[in-house]
Amino acid sequence: MIDFHPVRAFLEPAHLELAEGVGDYAAAEFAGHARHDDDDVVRRYAREICASLGSGGWLKAIARQDFRACAVTRETLAFHSPLADAMFALQALGSTPIALAGDTRQRRLWLDRAVRGRAVAAFAMSEPEAGSDIAAMRSTAVRDGDAYVLNGIKTFISNAGIADFYLVFALTDPGAGAKGISAFLLPTETQGFRFVRPLLMADPHPLGEIALEDCRLPASARVGGEGEGYRLGLATLDRLRPTVGAAACGMAGRALHEAIHHALTRRQFGRALADFQITQEKVGRMATDLTAARLLVYRAAWERDGGAERTDVEAAMAKSFATEIAQGVVDDAVQILGGRGVLADHPVDRLYRSVRALRIYEGATEIQRLIIARHLFDAARAGPDEPPE
């Protein structure tokens, strides 16, 4: 079980109870599961995981928009299964825009089903020429009477090919740049929708590319107003970024757990690895970095749950720091385990392949640091503090 004592100041009793429940569930559900390297197998298993999370009630925090609960759940799931964490995250990404701006029908038809694990969600924003630069989007949604006709290509879309609905972002006013982007709910069975191809990752994950070819959607499929898609997309990412940090902490925590167990049981030169100072230095640094990351993550989630109007800086700090240190912690764990750490059937090898993507998706580390720096410079320009005498 993960010890949430170090971050208890940011949590309510209900969060600690949730941590215990999801920990018991994940330990039982994912213990002993073999790693699947075949893409088709992973895609089927991903849908099974989503259904299991929904039937267990572990997705309800998404509808409640309780981000500390989301962080607790993601950290715990990531500790036991990176793929289970990914499925929780993707349900959150595809559903949060509906929770924020969806009408009653959209919430009933899609949000409720997603939270129950009965509909798999996807968040379709990235394009071949629009990754970090969302304003470079080229997909269009042209108004035609009481409908919109969508055209474009979306790539690096998680759950592509297995999702039941996509939260698609497209230009309703191409001349307005980011302010011309709108959001739409697109069911998979929509005529003109096409799953183009899977994109294979180092750690198997249902990633792929989709095409929109004269997809006709009723105006009621729009989520929020015209031109509000960019703001809605950023609001979604802002809310969920701390939970990416939580997932990173879960992976780092599992790596640290495996490294400590190995160091205590593996003997070299007549002594346990744990008795060597170089091992102790690594473990001490890993534990300290992990604790600092968790504090940033749960502070950001606490700020958001507390009603803070904006948490972009806190979220950026949490996401960038936690994902970067998680990469280091996992790498140190591989080094402590030596040859065992790179065997394909060892949990640390899976973590090594899983953790890398967290530094890129939902805003790369470099972008997060730009957000932080710009905030500091803007604050200084608005009212620079006098240096102490």
Q: Are 373 and 257 members of one domain?
A: yes
Domain contains 388: no
Domain contains 63: yes
Domain contains 387: no
- Between CA 189 and CA 54 the distance in angstroms is 22
Q: Given this model, what pLDDT does residue 33 score? A: 62
Q: Are 157 and 107 members of one domain?
A: no
Q: Given this model, what pLDDT does residue 385 score? A: 61
Q: Which amino acid is at 252?
A: A
Q: Are 108 and 266 in contact (CB under 8 A)?
A: no
Q: Given this model, what pLDDT does residue 386 score? A: 57
Q: Which domain holds residue 140?
A: 121-225
Q: Which amino acid is at 368?
A: Q
Q: Given this model, what pLDDT does residue 35 score? A: 64
- Between CA 212 and CA 192 the distance in angstroms is 6
68: closest CA among 368, 367, 290, 314? 314
Helix (H, G, I), strand (E, B) or coil at 214: strand
- Between CA 322 and CA 3 the distance in angstroms is 17
- Between CA 371 and CA 227 the distance in angstroms is 23
Residue found under tokens 């990176």:
82
Of the candidates 167, 197, 225, which is a domain's last residue?
Answer: 225
Q: Which amino acid is at 58?
A: W
pTM value is 0.93
Active site residue 362: yes
Q: What is the DSSP string of 32-54?
A: TPPP---HHHHHHHHHHHHHHHH
Q: Given this model, what pLDDT does residue 384 score? A: 63
- Between CA 101 and CA 151 the distance in angstroms is 23
Task: Spell out the per-residue pLDDT of the chain, length 389, in tens.
Answer: 799 999 999 999 999 999 999 999 999 999 866 566 788 899 999 999 999 999 999 999 999 999 999 999 999 999 999 999 999 999 999 999 999 999 999 999 999 999 999 999 999 999 998 878 888 899 999 999 999 999 999 999 999 999 999 999 999 999 999 999 999 999 999 999 999 999 988 778 899 999 999 999 999 999 999 999 999 999 999 999 999 999 999 999 999 999 999 999 999 999 999 999 999 999 999 999 999 999 999 999 999 999 988 899 999 999 999 999 999 999 999 999 999 888 888 999 999 999 999 999 888 999 999 999 999 999 999 976 655 54
Residue 209 φ then ψ, to 5°: -125, 140
What domain count does the chain have? 3
Catalytic residue among 213, 303, 362, 386: 362
Q: Given this model, what pLDDT does residue 34 score? A: 59
CATH number of residue 315's parent domain: 1.20.140.10
Residues 6+ apart with CB under 8 A from 27: 1, 80
Tokens of 237: 């990412």
Q: Are 294 and 180 members of one domain?
A: no
Burial class (CB in 10 A: 0-12, 13-18, 19+), 105: exposed
